[in-house]
């Protein structure tokens, strides 16, 4: 059970939707080594659960997340190289766990998302932001670089935009983030919760296992050479899902003009 003082909240609703909430609003949901450890544990737990179909990553307060906590950064400044390497790897593993969650992931961005928080958004399948949301890859202002988040940010916004924003540390807002491919939907702040619910409804109309396999497919084929090996792999994937229990139910429901059994 969650307690009010916990900096990360976790719950699962009756629809199989997990809500992971950063709960450190007094510090703008900045994260430190303990929060990173907690998030890693939660993401790894979710990945093993068949009863969870969707995960929403949200936060309480005005900001989505200010990135690294200042106290944590101050401690890191006095660390040795080996201690810094260990610390950075913990963040890298948390981001990897989020990026490769088998379930559909939605980031709900209500305010500022700075530094590592841009990495969190980049790791999610769908990003829904309010018109008040803003983004900044601010590391170079501190003489640092956005290293551990870079694979996911470059994947989300592309190499050209990354070359610019990694170096300028410019703050940009929802409309620009959508143009870059980081944000999928933009709504007014008061409509943010309903827009997330709407997206959940759209997702739940689709087969849960099919969504998992479709997500894994997109990550597998990205940037692959279209050759005989890729053609064989994708053919094997569609053949396997056609004869699966969910695939058979979906096809039969379509031809029988009825709802499949996963739709309530």
Q: Is the pLDDT of residue 43 over 90?
A: yes
Sorting pLDDT into bands at 50, 70 and 90, what band is 3?
low
Sorting pLDDT into bands at 50, 70 and 90, what band is 1?
low
The DSSP output letter for 131 is: T
> What angle (nearest 5°) sits at the alpha carbon of residue 26, between those of residues 187 and 66?
60
pTM of the model: 0.94
> What angle (nearest 5°) sits at the alpha carbon of residue 94, between those of residues 11 and 174?
75
Q: Which structure tokens are listed for 54? A: 């969707």
Per the prediction, the chain carries an average pLDDT of 95
Q: Does domain 8-204 bear CATH number 3.90.226.10?
A: yes
**If we measure between CA atoms, which residue out of 121, 120, 116 comes closest to residue 73?**
116
What is the DSSP pairing of strand 104-109 with strand 17-22? unpaired
- The pLDDT of residue 79: 85
Q: Can you tell me whether residue 114 is helix, strand or coil?
A: strand
Sorting pLDDT into bands at 50, 70 and 90, what band is 78?
confident
CB atoms within 10 A of CB 131: 13
Q: Are 12 and 51 in contact (CB under 8 A)?
A: yes
Cα–Cα distance measured from residue 264 to residue 260, given in angstroms and rounded to the nearest whole number: 9
pLDDT, one tens digit per residue, over 213-225 is 999 999 999 999 9
């Amino acid at each position: 059970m969650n307690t009010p003082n916990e900096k990360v909240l976790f719950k699962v609703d009756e629809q199989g939707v997990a809500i992971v909430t950063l709960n450190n609003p007094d510090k703008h949901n900045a994260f430190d080594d303990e929060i990173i450890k907690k998030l890693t544990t939660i993401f790894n737990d979710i990945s093993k659960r068949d009863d969870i179909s969707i995960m929403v990553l949200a936060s309480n307060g005005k900001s989505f997340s200010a990135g690294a906590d200042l106290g944590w950064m101050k401690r890191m400044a006095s660390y040795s190289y080996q201690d810094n390497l260990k610390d950075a790897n913990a963040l890298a593993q948390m981001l990897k766990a989020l990026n490769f969650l088998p379930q559909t992931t939605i980031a709900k961005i209500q305010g500022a998302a700075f530094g590592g928080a841009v990495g969190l958004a980049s790791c999610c399948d769908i990003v829904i932001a309010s018109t008040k949301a803003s983004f900044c890859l601010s590391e170079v202002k501190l003489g640092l670089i956005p290293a551990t988040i870079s694979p996911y940010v470059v994947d989300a916004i592309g190499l050209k935009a990354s070359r610019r924003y990694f170096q300028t540390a410019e703050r940009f807002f929802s409309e620009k983030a959508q143009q870059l491919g980081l944000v999928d939907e933009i709504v007014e702040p008061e409509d943010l919760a309903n827009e997330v619910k709407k997206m959940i409804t759209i997702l739940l109309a689709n087969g849960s296992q099919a969504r998992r396999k479709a997500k894994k497919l997109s990550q597998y084929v990205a940037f692959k050479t279209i050759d005989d090996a890729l053609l064989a792999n994708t053919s094997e994937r569609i053949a396997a899902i056609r004869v699966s229990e969910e695939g058979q139910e979906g096809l039969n429901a379509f031809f029988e003009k009825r709802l499949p059994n996963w739709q309530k």
